[in-house]
Each structure stands twice: as C-alpha cells, then as structure tokens.
A and B are shown apart, each in its own frame.
Chain A
Amino acid sequence: MINISELLDEIKASPYREITVRTPHTGRVTFAGLKPGQDVLGPQGQWKERPGTLLATLERERNPKPICATEKGILDSIHSELEGQYVEAGTPLMVIRHMLTKDEVEYLILKKTLHLFQAPERAKYYFTPEVDKKIRAADAHSVIVRDGMELMIMSRMKREVPLHYSGPEGVIYAVYFKYNENIDAGAPLIGVCPQDQLPAIQDVIMRVRTEWTEK
C-alpha cells in the first residue's frame, strides 16, 4: 500500500521535473547564448508545430542540427565549458527545470494509486444495467469491481459485446468516458482504487487542486 500523503510531500519537496538535455549524437556544440535562470518554451502552436526555444546547435559532418527545448521551464545549469567542443553522444548539455502543473501532479498521483481499465477497441461503452443503476442511485464510488465481473457493454456498429473487468479489486474512482461517445482503443475507461484508500486519494487530489500554485 502506498502512503499518499508521503507521495504528495515528496512531490512538494521537489515540485519540478529536471530534464537533462543530452546530445543525440557526437558533434561540435555551439550554445545559443542562453544563461542559467532564463525561461525556455516547449513546442508551440495548436499542433505543436513550432519547435521550442533553440538551446544549442550540434554539428557533425557539416550538418548543423538544432537542439530545442522539449518542455517549458527554467534553465538550471549549462555546461558552457563544452562550447565549441566535439562531444560524445549522450553528453549532458544543460538541465531544464520544468515546474509541474496541477494536471501533471494529479496525473502523477493517480498514476501511482489508480488502476486504469482501458478500452480494448474504438467503440461506445456503457455500464451494464445493474452497475448503471447503482451509479445513478449513489455514485461511482459505491460500485465495487472484481476481476472477471461483467462491467460494461461495448457497442459498435449495431454490435454489442459484454466486457469483463480485469484487474485488482476496488471501487471506481473516476469514470473517463461519456455515454454515446466513441472511445479510442487504449484510452482509459475507469480508474479503480482500493476501497480503503478512496478518502485519502480524494483528499490529496482536493488539496492539489486548491493549493498547488503553478509557476
């Protein structure tokens, strides 16, 4: 069993992710003239079509290759002593400190605590009538799921197939699909957590939502 409060404290102690930018291959490094403490941006645009801030250029065989930031963050340190040097593949060039956002923290916690039950194929999903009745009467947290239990109906193009739950026993923490909407294969349908951890998780998530400040 995971101690959720500890997990949160751990995240709070270092509320960022450190991304080490490494050289993809050998080559001569030219830095783009950024200083530690400067902000960098990740890929921009509706489709992330514009690359992030240029960090350095790596040239091998007269083929200059830009190295761009992959996430938004602050430059933590730069190995500026490598400027103009020929380096090996995988040499760390700099460290970007990416401050975690609310969603990322929530995702981190839920990833460690929840079991996600995924959609096996692109289809519409419904709970079986019994489960549905229970959810409507109370809420999703009241439904206990067990391995092998007939939980859902998968419906696609006039074909309906029962879907059995597989995974650890627990209560439904969150429902990620809506009725009458297509769900892609591999997308999570429900998140299941052990029954006794439910209040703790809810509490932590609430705290993240209200207290977490994004930088």
Chain B
Amino acid sequence: MPRLSAAPPYDKQSALRRVRNKMDNNIEKRIQGLTDRLTYARDIFAGKHEEDIKLLEEKLAVFVGRAQRGELADPYNDVVALEELFAFVEKRLENAVTPMDMVRIVRHPQRICLRDILENVYDNFTEVGGQDEHSLDPSMLIARAVITRRRGKKTYTQSVMVIGQEKGHGAEFRNGGSVKPWGNAKALHYMSVAETEGIPIHTYIFTPGSYPIEDYPGAAQQIARNIYGMAGLRVPIVAVISEGGSGGAEAIGLADKRLMLSHGYYSVISPEGAAAIEGRLKAGQRATPELIEHCAGSLKITARDNLAFGYIDRVVQEPPLGARPYHFDFFRSLRQEVLRATDEVVLNHRKWPGFRGLAVARVRNPEANLDEMHIRWGLSAAAKERMVEHRQQKFLRLSREAAIDNRPFMAKNMAALQDWLITPWMHVKYDFFRKHQRKISTFMEEVGNEVEMFKNRLLSPWYKMTRRLPGRQAEDKAQELTALSTWTDDSRRSRWNYLSPRYKIDRTLTCPNSESYGCLDLWGPDLFAEFAGVCSHCGHHFPMEPEWYVKNVFDLDSVYEFNSEIEAGNPLAFPGFEERIAEAQKKNGTKSGCMTFEARIDGIKMVVAMLMGTFRGGSVGAAEGYKFVEAAQRAQKKRYPFLAYVHGTAGIRIQEGTNGVIQMPRCTVAVRRYVESGGLYMVLYDTNSFAGPVASFLGCSPYQFAVRSSNIGFAGPGVIKETTGMDIPPKYHRSYHALSRGHIQGIWDRRQIRANLKQALLTIGGRNLYYR
C-alpha cells in the first residue's frame, strides 16, 4: 500500500511541548486578540502613556508564560480577568486621547473598514463596483446592500446604495482609501444609478484625501462634478465620516444627514500637511512630532468640534480607543444611527404634517429599536423636490458665523429690503414683460421693415444723384489705405486704464522661456505698461495685480463693489493667524481674498466674484465663501451672468479648518442653484489655481477658460511627490494640459480677455443673455 503522506519523524521535544501546552485554541485566540489590542494601543499613542502600556504588556506576558507552561488552574477565569484589566486601562486612556491620537486611530490597520460595516451593519450586500483589486479603483467600494426590518410579524427588505472608500485594513492595492479620479467618477455613476432606482445612498468616508493626479477625468475636475451632482441628487443621502480628508471626503460627502464616528476626524488637510505649511518646510523635510500634534490640536478636526460648528449632524459613539472589527455592539448602534438618519430624511419631507411629527418623534427617540419599525423610503416627486431644496438650504446656511460680517446694520437691512423689492420686479421684468415684449417687438420689427422698404424706394433717385458727387468718403478710403498708422490713434499708453505699479521700476526682466525661445530681456516700464505683462517674443504672461483686471477688463467706472465689509477672520483661533490676516488686509487694502462686484463689458452687465491671489495666496475661507455665495445669489436675483475670475487661489485656507472646507459644497450648491435657475456661470483662471476651489465651485462650471501661462490642478508638484512618490514633469499643471484633458474650454491672451469675454457672453449667453 502506498504511503499517502510522510509522517513527521518522531520528535521527543515537540511531543513534550504539546503535552505540556495546555492551551486550547480558544485561549490562544483570546491571547491573540489581547496582543492585537496591546499593539493597537501602543501604535495609536506613539510613545505616550508608556507605563499603562507596559503594565498591560507585563500582565499579558506573565499570563502567556503561565498558560504555555500549563500552570493555570482555570485559564478562562484568568483570561476574563485580564480582558477586564485591558478594558479598564483602555477606558482610562480614552480620556487622554488627543486629536492627533484620533488621526492615528483612523489610520490604523485594525480600524474598522467599509467591508466590516457592510458585513455587520447591513443584512446582505453585493459589491457592484468591482471586486478586490479587480476594480476600476479598489479604494472606492460600491455595493448594493439590503436592510431587513420588521413590523409585527411582517418583514420588509429595504435597499440602499452603499458608497465609500475602502482602506482594506492596510491592503496595499487599496491605496489607503485615496481615490483616483476615475474612482470618484465610478461613485458618481452609481449615485445616478441609485437616483434612477429611487433608493437612498449611504456614503462612508474613509479617506485621507484624494489621489492627486491629473489624468482624465482629473482629480479636481471629478470631485467638482461629484459635489455638483450630489447637490441635486433626488434621493436621500446619509454620510458617515470616519476619516474625512478634505477634497476626497467632499467627493461623496454632500449629504442630507452627516454622521461622524466619535474617533474620526474631518479636516481640510492632514496634520502633517498643515505642519509642513506652518513650518514652511521644503520638499523632503519632515515636521517635528510636536508641531504636527500642535497643528492637529489647532485645526479642530474632531467629531465634537465639527458638531459644534454644525458641519455634522450627529456623533456615533465608538467604544474606547475607537471601533475595531470585533466591536459588534458598535455596529449595532451604527446600524440604528444610519437607519434613524435615513428615516428622518424621508419623514421630514413627507407631506402629512401630523403623521410626520409623530413618526419623526418616534424615530428620534434614542431608545427606539428601528429594526422593529418600518418606514418606506420611497418619496414622491414633490417630496424629492423639497428634500433637495432642504439639503441645499442647509449647506447655504453653514459657516456664516465663521466670517466677520461688518456690514453696517442699515446696509444689511437695505440689502434685505432691496432683495424684497428686486425679486418681484425681476419677475415682472423677465417673466411677464419679456414674454409679451417679444410679441410687441416682432410686430414692430415687421412694421419697421415695411417702412424701410418704402423709404428706400422713395429716396432712391436722391441716392443715385448723390453717389456721383465727389465726396469725402473716397478721400477717407484713400487715406486709410495709404497712410501709416500713427502713434496717437493707437493711444499706446492709454490703451490700459490701469498700469501695474511695477512699471515705475527701471529694470529689465528675463522671460522664463528665454532658454527655449530665445526671448530677449524685457524692460519693466514697457512690460508692465504697454505690453500688459506679456512677453513680446513668446507670449509668456507675467502675473499682474488683480486691479489690472478690474480696471482694464470691465468698462471704466462700471465697477460697483458690494459686500466689501465682510471680513476674513480666525474662526478656529488658530495661534498667530490673526496678525497674518491683518497683514494681508493691510497689504491688499481689502478685507478678504474675494472681491465681489457688478460690472459691465460694453454695456453687458454681470456679477463678478474675484479670488485674489495676492491675499494669502487667494485661499478660500468662510468670508470668501460667504461673499461668493452672496454674489451668486445676487446674480440669480438680478438675472445677470456670473463670472468667477480667479486671479489665483492656493486652495482652502487651512487655518480655518472645516470652516474652510465646507465652502466647497456650500459654494457649489450656490452655483448649482444659480445655473439651474437659468444663469450663465463662467470661470476664468489666471496665474495659479489649485485644490479645493478648483475641485468644487470653480471646476463644476460648464464654461471654464484660462489666461495663458496659468497653472490649474488639484495638488502642486511637491504634494504629489510627497503623497504618491511620483516625480512630476515640469509644466504638468499648465493650462494647456488642462485644455487637452477637457477641463477648460479655451485659453485666452490677457490682452484679449475683454474681447473674448464679450464674445463668450454673447455666444454662450445668446441674445437672452441673462436667462435661458
């Protein structure tokens, strides 16, 4: 008979060990669990609370040693005692968790992942957005999940679309939840699927930020599309935030209800990134742990802070030191919370108020077991309308307090009063008068045509006679064809209403392209005056001041600024930031980095919001967002085209934390409301435009243009190198790449902005410029 397997040679030592080893599998498993808990605690505190961790370590080592030697009379009793000790210490340490510890908690491989949630919170699910590494983007996980609820003896099955980033307990191919542009596109696609099917969407945010590459569809561009899409999605959306890293989080975060796990963070930037900016570090340098800890503290990134700001609706309490996959009670409470949130959204937009109140109260009762209740999640068309409106209004209301509104009391009320008067007047003007005006004007045109014909016939003998006379006309023609153009009629200097003050400096400048194109040096007084900052050889655009555009693009004296009193502040009381804001205000002579005004180009009226790159890099905070939203609303009320002129923006102002990042959905909502009401929203980029604003309210515009030599992107080369480790070719962010990628629609010469804007307004806006 053949031997099926080779028996191991007899080993006396190992046999003895086996006999002595009294541990059974259960004990071993529980020891493994405790070891994991110990490593977890050690990792998340990163060297702090050493004595507590040492105590646990020693106790565990003693227990393991005794168990291995078989010295324990009742190992189960002992392991329970040890587990209680662990729980006790963890509970004590819980009170000492700092914001940076929370950052380490959410990044820990033992932290719960989306798949754990799918398995434990939902009753069944099917992954639809790819499987494991075989996915368009493995870091974005999409599943259709079902929840079974009971009422009496009857069971009901409810479907949801679950969308979220998957960190996969540190699996490499998941990229730590950093979603590539096409992953976000996948999310948006399945959101629209859910909209078609009329099922709610639950999004779970587990991302440190988006993967910052510009390949199609482009990181910034796709996030902007996602936010824009979610602002008008006609199904209930509930978002749960564990790790909410800036743009990546916003890509799936614009929800009716936003829940946050108690140990999660929601922030504009990672504490390391903030530390690198605060410490003014160059690429490759590392910030000190103290500085990172300090930044994490001052950015106010925790669930409690964000609840206080109102950017989340509820906090889901986690077990001490954060939820891990074996915390089944936590999953149960999370299930209750997402059910409650979804039920509330649905009920709040039901029609019958009496029933609605009762039902909402029942659902809100914290003691209620929502598994034992059934609320249908379908909504009527009208209810969907109300829900979207409610969602948009909710975001528009956020963060108003974070900006300093210094408008005098009278001005504020006058604005309100004007709104009150303007709205009906605009209705009369556009909805009533325009309709009938068209009929009248058609009639008048026809009459006019007839009169013209009649006049021509009547006067034709006279014309014939005068044409033969030697007149001035021929003379003009001859002069036009023979004479040289003169210096005076070109009005060389007076071509521009505003000259950059740099023209007074007597020096030459080198064009950055001189190596490749052989541009000669440019003399400052020429370059910054007559040349409008454009290299006369290669056309490179040197950056100009925001005033240049205000004075030279729009009709002279047509600019009327409004809301200039709204002031950028320091809502987080970020240490030392007040002085820096004051300095920027002094340097620019403006109160914030966004200037909003009404202006005309050849009589075409419009509302303009200008982000100024000279004010703290053009970063967007609560004040800038406030002014942008106000400008969009003003344009909507007055039915003017709305132009966002981006002189430059470095992104969201990190020192304002979530007060800044919330401007992404907020302003996008404002823009969407404006566009949906029929407005024409155009964006013009200049110099450098990066990050948050491009990935939201700027990037969502259907008509985006750029001035030559501008750079557009999501993250700068330094950040890309830092996060992905990839080297970025020079000129990676040039507007020409954005044009080839389809992000922008055209590139304009600075000297032609006025003409091009007029052309675009007339062709895109058409004759009914203001409203479709």
Residues of A at the B interface (CB closer than 8 Å) are: 25, 46-47, 49, 60-63, 65
Within 8 A of A (CB), among B421-442: none
Q: Which of B509, B521, B523 has the most chain A CB atoms inside 10 A of its CB?
A: B521
Contact with A along B465-478 (1 / 0, CB 8 A): 00000000000000
Contacts of B727 in A (CB 8 A): 46
Write out the residue numbers on chain A whose beta carbons fall within 8 Å of the beta carbon of B506: 61-62
A63 touches B507 (CB 8 A): yes
Beyond A62-B508, A65-B510, 11 additional contacts (C-beta under 8 Å) are A25-B521, A46-B727, A47-B730, A49-B730, A60-B508, A61-B507, A61-B508, A62-B506, A63-B508, A63-B521, A65-B521
Across the interface, which residues of A come within 8 angstroms of B508, CB to CB? 60-63
For residue A65, which residues in chain B have a CB less than 8 angstroms away from its CB? 510, 521
Contact of A47 among B510, B521, B523, B729 (CB under 8 A): B729
Q: How far is the CA of A46 from the CA of B726 in the complex (A)?
A: 12
Contact across chains for A61 and B523 when beta carbons are under 8 A apart: yes
Q: How far is the CA of A60 from the CA of B506 in the complex (A)?
A: 11
A58 to chain B, nearest CB (A): 10
A-B contact pairs, 19 of them (CB 8 A): A25-B521, A46-B729, A47-B729, A47-B730, A49-B729, A49-B730, A60-B508, A61-B506, A61-B507, A61-B508, A61-B521, A62-B507, A62-B508, A63-B507, A63-B508, A63-B509, A63-B510, A65-B510, A65-B521
For the complex, give the distance between the alpha carbons of A74 and B507 in Å: 34
Chain B residues whose CB sits within 8 angstroms of the CB of A47 once the complex forms: 729-730
- Cα(A65)–Cα(B730), bound, Å: 21
CA distance A62 to B729 in the complex (A): 31
B319 to chain A, nearest CB (A): 48
Chain A residues, CB < 8 A from B729: 46-47, 49
Total contacts A-B at CB 8 Å: 24
Interface string of B151-188 (1 = CB under 8 A from A): 00000000000000000000000000000000000000
Bound complex: CA of A25 vs CA of B510, how far in Å?
12
Residues of B within 8 A of A (CB): 506-510, 521, 523, 727, 729-730
Bound CA span A47–B727, Å: 10
> What is the minimal beta-carbon distance from B724 to any residue of chain A, in angstroms?
15
CB-nearest residue of chain A to B732: A47
CB–CB A60/B521 < 8 A: yes
Which chain B residue shows the least CB distance to A68? Answer: B515
* Closest chain A CB from B733 CB (angstroms): 14
Residues of A within 8 A of B521 (CB): 25, 60-61, 63, 65
- Which residue in chain A gives the minimum CB-CB distance to B518? A24
Closest approach, in angstroms, between the C-beta of B720 and any C-beta of chain A? Answer: 14
A61 to B523, CA, bound (A): 8
**Least distance between B513 CB and chain A CB atoms (Å):** 14
Q: How far is the CA of A159 from the CA of B341 in the complex (A)?
A: 62
In the assembled complex, the Cα of A65 lies from the Cα of B522 at a distance in Å of 13
Shortest Cβ distance from A24 into B: residue: B514
Taking the nearest CB of chain B, how far is it from the CB of A48, in angstroms?
A: 9
State the CA gap A25–B522 with chains docked (Å). 13
**Distance (whole angstroms) from the CB of B517 to the closest CB of chain A:** 14
CB distance from A16 to the nearest CB of B (A): 25
Q: Output the nearest chain B residue to A61 by Cβ-Cβ distance.
A: B508
Q: Who on chain B is nearest to A45 by CB?
A: B727
Complex Cα–Cα for A65 and B727 (A): 27
In the assembled complex, how far is the CB of residue A38 from the closest CB belonging to chain B, in whole angstroms? 24
**Distance between B626 CB and nearest chain A CB, rounded to angstroms:** 40
Q: Which residues of chain B are near A46, meaning CB under 8 Å?
A: 727, 729
Give Cα distance in the complex from A61 to B508, angstroms.
6
Question: In the assembled complex, how far is the CB of residue A76 from the closest CB belonging to chain B, in whole angstroms?
Answer: 24
Which chain B residue shows the least CB distance to A64?
A: B510
7 A-B pairs with the lowest CB-CB distances in the bound complex, closest first: A62-B507, A61-B508, A63-B508, A49-B730, A47-B729, A61-B507, A63-B507
Find the B residue at minimum CB distance from A50: B730
A60–B520 CA distance with the chains assembled, in angstroms? 12
Q: Which residue of B lies closest to A49 (CB)?
A: B730
Q: What is the distance, in angstroms, from B618's C-beta to the closest C-beta of chain A? A: 25
CA distance A46 to B730 in the complex (A): 10
Q: Which residues of A contact B730 (CB under 8 A)?
A: 47, 49
Residues of A within 8 A of B509 (CB): 63
State A60–B521 Cα separation when bound (angstroms): 9
- List A contacts of B510 (CB < 8 A): 63, 65
Q: Which residues of B contact A60 (CB under 8 A)?
A: 508, 521
Tell me which residues across on chain B come within 8 A of A25, comparing CB atoms.
521
The distance from the CB of B616 to the nearest CB of chain A, in whole angstroms, is: 28
A49→B731 CA distance, assembly (Å)? 10
A25 to B508, CA, bound (A): 13
Q: Which residues of B contact A62 (CB under 8 A)?
A: 506-508
**What's the nearest-Cβ distance from chain A to residue B168, in Å?**
32
Give Cα A49–Cα B728 distance, bound, in whole angstroms. 10
B70: min CB distance to chain A, Å: 62
Question: How far, in whole Å, are A128 and B727 apart by their CA atoms in the complex?
Answer: 42
B682 CB → nearest A CB, Å: 34
**A62–B506 CA distance with the chains assembled, in angstroms:** 8
CB closest residue in chain A, given B730? A49
Cα distance A62–B505 in the bound complex, in angstroms: 10
Question: In the complex, A65→B514 CA distance in Å?
Answer: 11
| A115 CB, nearest partner CB in chain B, Å | 31
CA distance A60 to B510 in the complex (A): 10
Report the separation of the CA atoms of residues A65 and B521 in the bound assembly, to the nearest whole angstrom.
Answer: 10
Report the bound CA distance from A212 to B508 in whole Å.
47
Distance between B659 CB and nearest chain A CB, rounded to angstroms: 37
Chain B residues in 8 Å Cβ range of A63? 507-510, 521
CB distance from A69 to the nearest CB of B (A): 14
A47–B507 alpha-carbon span in the complex (Å): 31
Q: How far is the CB of A22 from chain B (nearest CB, A)?
A: 15
Min CB gap B661→A, angstroms: 32
B214 to chain A, nearest CB (A): 16
In the complex, what residues of B have CB within 8 A of residue A49's CB?
Answer: 729-730
Nearest chain A CB to B767's CB is how many angstroms away? Answer: 44
For residue A67, give the distance in angstroms from its CB to the closest CB of chain B: 12
| CB proximity of B295 to chain A, nearest CB, Å | 30
A60 to B730, CA, bound (A): 28
Closest chain-B Cβ to A14's Cβ sits at a distance in Å of 29
Complex-state Cα separation, A47 to B732, whole angstroms: 12
Question: What's the least CB distance linking A156 to chain B, in Å?
Answer: 22
The residue in chain B whose Cβ has the minimal distance to the Cβ of A66 is: B510
CB distance from A180 to the nearest CB of B (A): 26
CA distance A61 to B505 in the complex (A): 10
Q: Which residue of A lies closest to B522 (CB)?
A: A63
Closest B residue to A25 by beta carbon equals B521
Q: Which residues on the A side are within 8 Å of B523 (C-beta)?
A: 61
**Nearest CB to that of A63 among chain B residues?**
B508
In angstroms, Cα B510 to Cα A49, docked, is 18
What is the bound-complex CA distance between A46 and B523, given in angstroms?
A: 34
B404 to nearest A CB, angstroms? 41
CA distance A65 to B507 in the complex (A): 12
Shortest B284–chain A CB gap in Å is 14
A65 to B515, CA, bound (A): 12
With A and B bound together, what is the CA distance between A62 and B509 in angstroms? 8
**Cα separation A62 to B727 with both chains bound (whole Å):** 35
When C-beta atoms are compared, the residue in chain A nearest to B729 turns out to be A47
User: A58 vs B523: C-alpha distance in the bound complex, in angstroms?
Assistant: 16
Determine the residue in chain A with the shortest Cβ distance to B515: A51
A107 to B506, CA, bound (A): 48
